Amino acid sequence: MRGFTLRAVPVYFVAFACGCFGKQDVQRTDGPPPSPTHAYWKQASEILARKPDAETMPAYVALVRVQTDALRELPTDGVDAELIAAVASVIKCEEDVLRRAEMVDNNPARLKESKELAMGFANANRVATESKKRLKALQPALNTRHGGGFAPMV
């Protein structure tokens, strides 16, 4: 009988441990809640990933307007200052694209009529693209400063 009791003790111990510790109300999370900088990055990334409804100049301009307005409305409390500045630069550049598009009433035929307007519009688009590239390039620095969690922008 003594041999049976000694062999049963580990089984009872395991059952006791599983019963007591397995029933605790433990909440699991995938990490700490996202910081304002993480949330801002994610929202800006989602905004800039949108595509135009059609491959026309009016559709492109409408998308730029929607993106610019959405970026402007993002809350900046507690967000990394360099990230805010980069997004502000994108907004400023996109506003220039919008202004130049309005000068020709979003009509590509009018751009073809004036070499100066076409060059100005193309330059504004190039500057806006470079600004977006600088924003995307912040990802490694943000990961270093804020402990990771910043997915690359598409």
Q: Are 74 and 51 in contact (CB under 8 A)?
A: no
- Which tens digits make up the pLDDT trace of 43-93? 999 999 999 999 999 999 999 999 999 999 999 999 999 999 999 999 999
In a domain, 18, yes or no: no
In a domain, 13, yes or no: no
In a domain, 20, yes or no: no
Q: Report whether pLDDT(26) > 50.
A: no
CATH assignment of the domain containing 45: 1.20.120
Instruction: Provide the number of structural domains found in the chain.
Output: 1
In a domain, 45, yes or no: yes
Greatest Cα pair distance in the chain? 104
As a whole number of angstroms, the distance between CA 8 and CA 14 comes to 10
Q: What is the pLDDT of residue 154?
A: 81
Question: Considering the entire predicted model, what is its pTM?
Answer: 0.77
Domain of 94 in residue numbering reads as: 36-140
- Which tens digits make up the pLDDT trace of 99-122? 999 999 999 999 889 999 999 999
In a domain, 100, yes or no: yes
Q: Report whether pLDDT(21) > 90.
A: no
